A and B are shown apart, each in its own frame.
Chain A
Amino acid sequence: MRMVLYQTLAALVIIIVFSAASVAGSDKVLIEDAWSRASIGTSRPGVAYMKIRNTGDVAVTLKGISTDVALKPQIHRTSTNNQGVSSMAQVGEIEIVPGETVTLEPGGLHAMLMGLQRIMKEGESFFMTLAFSDGGEVAVEIPILSIAARGPES
């Protein structure tokens, strides 16, 4: 009886391990051109940008982000209406279909880093983890550029 139980448990473990390994999707996500701007102190929110590319053949859904530099990191979208008024709002989950790239860039989607835990110093970098709905996580190292930087190369 006990033997049967062990065998069943072993089988279950194998199934769990196997299914975790076969989680398709987020393991095919590539993060490119990540960058952020230096902060002045810690009272103002920070910001980070990047390209999130789905190189796999199933859709992936970005659920959220986390990082040790900020207590409340969120994905936001800036929009400007026909009166020229800009506003920001948190976006929910972002689906990325196969072959598609979602770009976080100035004036559009951005990782808003609220509750900075330390000063974001130019020349340094920090890590961010992107969590996907298949349970996978992708970590990215983000270089901190000048406060006046306009893109990943400046």
Chain B
Amino acid sequence: MRQRRLLEYGVFGIAAISFILFVGWWRVDGPGAPEPSDRHPLDFPAMEFRLTDHAGNAVGPEVLTGRATMVFFGFTFCPDVCPTTLSDISSWLEMMGEDSDQLNVIFITVDPERDTVDAMAEYVGYFDANIRGWTGTNEQIAVAADMFRVTYEKVPTDGEDYTMNHTASVFLFKADGQFSGAIDYHETRETAVPKIRRAMTEKEEVPQ
């Protein structure tokens, strides 16, 4: 009787250890392992998400094809990185002159709780007029971020306040919706503008 119980414990122990080892493998080497940093957004035709722009229109990836597009994620309660990215982009657009009118520029919030349609409208109004702000429900934003392979995380500061960690790169897409490349946070105009122009000119090669 006693031996039987010991055996039961033994079997249970081995099962538990095996399970722990399996979970470890799954997360480190197996299918559950974090993907390497060269993860990049899907092409627009392969994306599926619904959001609302700062004018209240329903939008999705389909409204972006036909022109080259620049997309980045952020939030309006962000004091440092986001206004800097927005003003960097505004300066790139300014440098490109009229050509920048042929470009979609989309700012998607990772903080939909505070970044309502009205909050987005007010915020983007301070930057280049080409910049559109997109928001949605928590679920909609989660789906969209996943399509772009963007990560974000709410981080509590003191009190009830919080800030957001988030992917800060600017993604470029060709007119046919194919991913063209990324501009890393705080890249200089000298390297950023040629990347944007490349995404735009690749468009002209497609229809011929």
Contacts and interface: CB of A to CB of B under 8 A. Distances in A.
A84 B80 contact: no
Interface stretch (B18-26, B50-58, B119-127): B119-127
A44 B76 contact: yes
A84 B86 CA distance: 16
Given A45-B79, A112-B80, A150-B87, A84 B168 contact: yes
A53 interface: no
Interface stretch (A22-30, A56-64, A74-82): A74-82
Interface stretch (B8-16, B157-165, B190-198): B157-165
Contact of A84 (B157, B158, B184): B184
A87 B155 contact: yes
A46 B79 contact: yes
Interface in B4-52: 37
Contacts of B100: none
A106 interface: yes
B181 interface: no
Contacts of A149: 87
Contacts of A47: 79-80, 83
Interface string B66-90: 0000000000110111011011101
A58 to B, nearest CB: 31
A80 B81 CA distance: 10
B169 interface: yes
Interface in B150-180: 151, 155, 157-158, 161, 163, 165-169
22 contacts: A44-B77, A44-B79, A47-B79, A47-B80, A47-B83, A78-B81, A83-B37, A84-B168, A84-B169, A84-B182, A85-B165, A85-B166, A86-B166, A87-B165, A106-B81, A106-B84, A107-B186, A147-B127, A148-B86, A148-B87, A150-B87, A150-B88
Interface of B: 37, 76-77, 79-81, 83-84, 86-88, 90-91, 122-123, 126-127, 151, 155, 157-158, 161, 163, 165-169, 182, 184-186
Which 9 pairs show the lowest CB-CB distances between chains A and B? A47-B79, A106-B84, A87-B165, A86-B168, A84-B169, A148-B87, A45-B79, A147-B126, A107-B186
